Structure 1
């Protein structure tokens, strides 16, 4: 089997690629893996270093908006797993143009090429943010989309495009929507790595507003296992939620990070809230659990402690790309 992984040098995509090439996923042991990544600030070949010498890996630096490159790579591909995206909400508020280009136009370019090539499966990786905020309960897959940030709107647009290509052209597309990811190799603009690395350096951490914003946290390994299940057994034309089952306010999460890093409340610096900041996200994962047997395996307490320890012992990875910013949550 030949798999094309877009954004395969990014945080989640590289974890998926490392899993494929390490033989983690059943029946994919001899898979030929093609990675297409533009290597923007969020993509890094160091993320693929543990598997860089595998003979089944081919890396191509290129843009998903480039139809020449995309058409060439799509030939003889059985499966496309599409991770490539601009994802940082704050950046989308400052300038949404690259989000529209990459997340909408780039997805369109991939879908057109996949339809022409007749690929067997196309998994489009999306986010819970497309639904907007939910006060109580959890979103089901059939709920209407109501994105509030330019990032979320661009992802909602790409979701609609992917499903339209299934309905119009018969392209066997499945869409996954996940909750907030965390784990090793995540860029330091995101909340957990930003706060962890700040605290490890004895710095303060920037907490938005009153800290009541609530998110469900999903370890990247559980997310990638869910994607593999959808790619292997999911139904074409369907949407599947992948969640972690641990809902925390940002204030509670910050407190846990303070404890792990040996800091106290004086390290918390309150900053003005983000524009259009959604209060709460929560996904119902009963569909993927019932149909495909998915459940999160990594407890949040263990996953968070292991993640902080990874940043503690991989300073050479994050120091060169450390940012000073507020964090996406």
Structure 2
């Protein structure tokens, strides 16, 4: 099978590309604009494979998308290209509307135009797999808000959408477009919504790589608010495995939630990283002494948690890594790959805080 992967030079996308090339006999066409978070250095270990090809193309460029489909004739699309940082979306929402909504529309139309040229067998086998986020669901009650002993709810595939940020609203919009193209045009689509990913090759604007790199340099470890926001953490290589299972075995029209079964407060995450560093790279004082608390971001969701039992029951997938084993692997990877870290930060981002506090925001 030949799979067209959009955003294949990004964090999750590159994990998907590596997984396919290293663990299957399928081919990959990587379509990526190479924005600040897209980095071909994340693919150096597989770029020489004859089953891999790269196209530097913006998904908002319909003409170029048409060319890619005509030249490569894929059997499936895995759509991961997206602007994905909440803080960036607060200060600059336009890019999120353009890429996540307009870009998805362009990709759907280019795919549909190509799909209609296929014979019936190829049409029926074709899949358009849209990779989304649990943030489209809004947030969940926090344990602090619940009666003691009551069961905490989780996101289901049927949970109503209630996005909180420009980022999550743009992803919710793209989810709706994908489902509409199935309902209206019959394009065989599948949607997955995942929890927070972490692991190797993660751009250092996100919490875990930011904390690791700041700690190693003795810089402050900023935590929003009290650090009591809860996230479900998913090791990126587990996610890549799940995504491949969905595109190859998932049922058209279905939604699958993919979670790591690891609910942790942000403060817990940072303290665990500090503890691992205390063991691997000990210094005179504890790394946790670098923790500082900064003003919270506007509209910060308090808790996410994914129920991925559908993935387990219908597709036989469960994550391999626990949070502890996955996080230790992640910290070790950043220790072993300082040159990658240096190279991705040579641009305009130097681990400063993103997302200016908005006056009057909740």
In which range does the TM-score fall when normalised by the shorter chain? over 0.9
Does residue 19 of the first structure (1) align with residue 16 of the second (2)? no
Mapping 1:1-329, distance limit 5 Å: 1-22=1-22, 24=23, 28-29=24-25, 31-75=26-70, 76-118=73-115, 120-135=126-141, 136-262=152-278, 263-322=286-345, 323-326=350-353
Q: CA deviation at 1:73?
A: 1.5
Q: Which segments of 5 or more consecutive residues in structure 1 lack a partner in the other structure?
A: none
* C-alpha distance in 1 between matches for 2:110 and 2:343: 36
Q: CA deviation at 1:264?
A: 3.8
Alpha carbons of 1:121 and 1:77: their partners in 2 closer, same or farther (altered >3 Å)? Answer: same
Alignment: residue pair count: 323
Contact 2:20 / 2:27 at 8 angstroms: preserved in 1?
no
Counterpart of 2:331 in 1: which secondary structure?
helix
More off after superposition, 315-324 vs 157-166: 315-324
Q: In the TM superposition, what whole-angstrom CA distance separates every residue of 1:283-314 from its partner, at most 9, and x where no partner exists?
A: 11111111000101111111101100110111
Name the Cα RMSD after superposition. 1.2
Q: Which segments of 5 or more consecutive residues in structure 2 lack a partner in the other structure?
A: 116-122, 142-151, 279-285, 356-362
Q: In the TM superposition, what whole-angstrom CA distance separates every residue of 1:103-157 from its partner, at most 9, and x where no partner exists?
A: 0000011111111111610100000000001113101101110000000000000
Contact 2:88 / 2:354 at 8 angstroms: preserved in 1?
no
TM-score normalised according to structure 2 size: 0.87
* C-alpha distance in 2 between matches for 1:129 and 1:277: 11
* C-alpha distance in 2 between matches for 1:50 and 1:142: 39
For the pair shown, which has the larger CA radius of gyration, 1 or 2?
A: 2
* C-alpha distance in 2 between matches for 1:99 and 1:91: 9
* C-alpha distance in 2 between matches for 1:325 and 1:275: 17
Q: CA deviation at 1:177?
A: 0.4
* C-alpha distance in 2 between matches for 1:90 and 1:11: 17
Counterpart of 1:3 in 2: which secondary structure?
strand
* C-alpha distance in 2 between matches for 1:108 and 1:99: 13
Q: CA deviation at 1:32?
A: 2.3
Alpha carbons of 1:98 and 1:117: their partners in 2 closer, same or farther (altered >3 Å)? Answer: same
* C-alpha distance in 2 between matches for 1:109 and 1:269: 43
Q: CA deviation at 1:327?
A: 7.4
